[in-house]
Structure 1
């Protein structure tokens, strides 16, 4: 199974990489933040580069807009200026060439919907520039159920156009629920996202973006805290909570009460991960792109198997 893993500097990520570098097809590290002048803030790790090199593990470096607290305004300013777009594209090209990255990943979030045409132009120009250098262009796309130019989070991403100017599209089919409790990515939600995606992007270009974390919602609080698989398991164990596997959602959940306040937890594990794997064949997709190393149920590696192989033991 072609398995691409996002990488961020966070607890557990580096030892996880050391252990599983030989099993990963491509590493997608969260390394380069765009700056207001179109240059890039370099947050790369030489240690991670060394591990990747030693394991013949390709790196597709992420270009993101999280280097500035005003990430929405930042990306708007960059995309809406022809000259700044040109500077940014040259910065990305130079970074890929200097570091000998075989590919890059565009991961722009909170892009204002009014930047749709500018984002399309950026991807077209970037694709042309990087293909001339023999580089692979990939993009992380927010989940969509239909084309909605006015959606505040995903409206800027026109699948049908962007799909023409990328080699690989990682459809982030998760965060189904965030402002209120619910599954991270129920199986029906993922199917619905893919049902739309394959109608506007060639299926061979699509990788299923998969989460391996959990959320803990506190009653009365709008946003949850993120849990790794291990944190979710330990939380349930320490509080004596019973973990239930929701058969409809194909995901694990539990509740607990502390200080008279109810909490609801949903999280991904080996079983929920395995439930999504048949969708790769069903929709003729190329593989999975997983957010992120260090958060996963260790049993997921039994499903993935060694690089290029798929384990038959998915339960």
Structure 2
């Protein structure tokens, strides 16, 4: 099973990498933020580079727009202004060559839907620039159920166009629920996403984006708190709450009350991971891209070893 893992520095993530570096196909670290002048904020780790090198683990660094609080304005300016777009692409190419990375991952979020054409131009020009250098061009895209150019979160991402100018597309089939409690990634949701995706992207270009974390929603609060698998299990244990595996969603959940407020928790474990992993075979996809290393149920590694 071709398994690519997103990586960010967090408690336990480097130890997890050291332990599982040989079980991972590709590491996708959250390293290079775009800046308003088209340059890159380098947040790479020499320690992680060394672990990867020692284990012959390829690195496809992420180019992202989380380097600025005004994420949507930043990315709009960069991809809609021709000279900034050219500068950014040139800086990406130079960074890959200097570090001898074999590939790259583009992970732009909060792209305004009206920037669809600008995003397409950027993707086309990036591909045309990087392919002659032998790099693998990969793009992380939000989950879509249909092509909707007006969708506020995913409207800028035209699967059918992107498929022509990317070697690998990682479909982030998670965060099904965020502003209100519900599964992170129910089996029905993932199936619906893939049913659409394979009609416009060759299945061999698709890697299923999988979550290995959980969310804890507090009643009356708009956004959940992120939990690792271990935090979700420990919280339930400490509170004496029973974890329920929801058969419909194929995901684990529980509720509890603290300070008079109801909390809803949904999280991914090895059982829910395995359920979604079966879709990779049934849809004949190339593999998985997992967010992120250090958050997972460790039993997942036993499952991957059998694939």
Normalising by the smaller structure, the TM-score range is over 0.9
Deviation at 1:26, TM superposition (A): 0.1
Query: 2:171 maps to what in 1?
Result: 171
Deviation at 1:278, TM superposition (A): 1.3
Partner Cα separation in structure 1 for residue 205 and residue 262 of structure 2: 42
Determine whether 1:225 maps to 2:212: no
Partner Cα separation in structure 2 for residue 291 and residue 132 of structure 1: 30
Query: 2:304 maps to what in 1?
Result: 304
Partner Cα separation in structure 1 for residue 255 and residue 125 of structure 2: 49
CA deviation string 1:221-268 (max 9, x = no partner): 111000000000000000001000000000000000011110000000
Once superposed, which parts of structure 1, at least 4 consecutive aligned residues long, lie more than 4 Å away? none
TM-score (norm 1): 0.97
Partner Cα separation in structure 2 for residue 41 and residue 212 of structure 1: 27
Query: 1:269 maps to what in 2?
Result: 269
CA deviation string 1:184-223 (max 9, x = no partner): 0000000000000111111000000000000000011111
CA deviation string 1:108-152 (max 9, x = no partner): 000000110000000000001000100000000000000010111
Deviation at 1:281, TM superposition (A): 1.2
1:173-252 equivalences under 5 Å are 173-252=173-252
Query: 1:104 maps to what in 2?
Result: 104
Query: 2:30 maps to what in 1?
Result: 30
The 3-state SS of whatever aligns with 1:171 is: strand
Deviation at 1:12, TM superposition (A): 1.2
Query: 1:156 maps to what in 2?
Result: 156
Task: Give structure 2 stretches of 5+ with no counterpart.
Answer: none
Query: 2:113 maps to what in 1?
Result: 113
Deviation at 1:71, TM superposition (A): 0.8
CA deviation string 1:258-308 (max 9, x = no partner): 111100000000000000111111111000100000000000000111xxx
Task: Give structure 1 stretches of 5+ with no counterpart.
Answer: 306-310
Backbone CA RMSD of aligned residues:
0.6
CA deviation string 1:18-57 (max 9, x = no partner): 0000100000000000000101000000000000000000
Partner Cα separation in structure 2 for residue 304 and residue 83 of structure 1: 44
CA deviation string 1:136-174 (max 9, x = no partner): 000000000000101111000000101110000000000
Query: 2:147 maps to what in 1?
Result: 147
1:253-264 equivalences under 5 Å are 253-264=253-264
TM-score (norm 2): 0.99
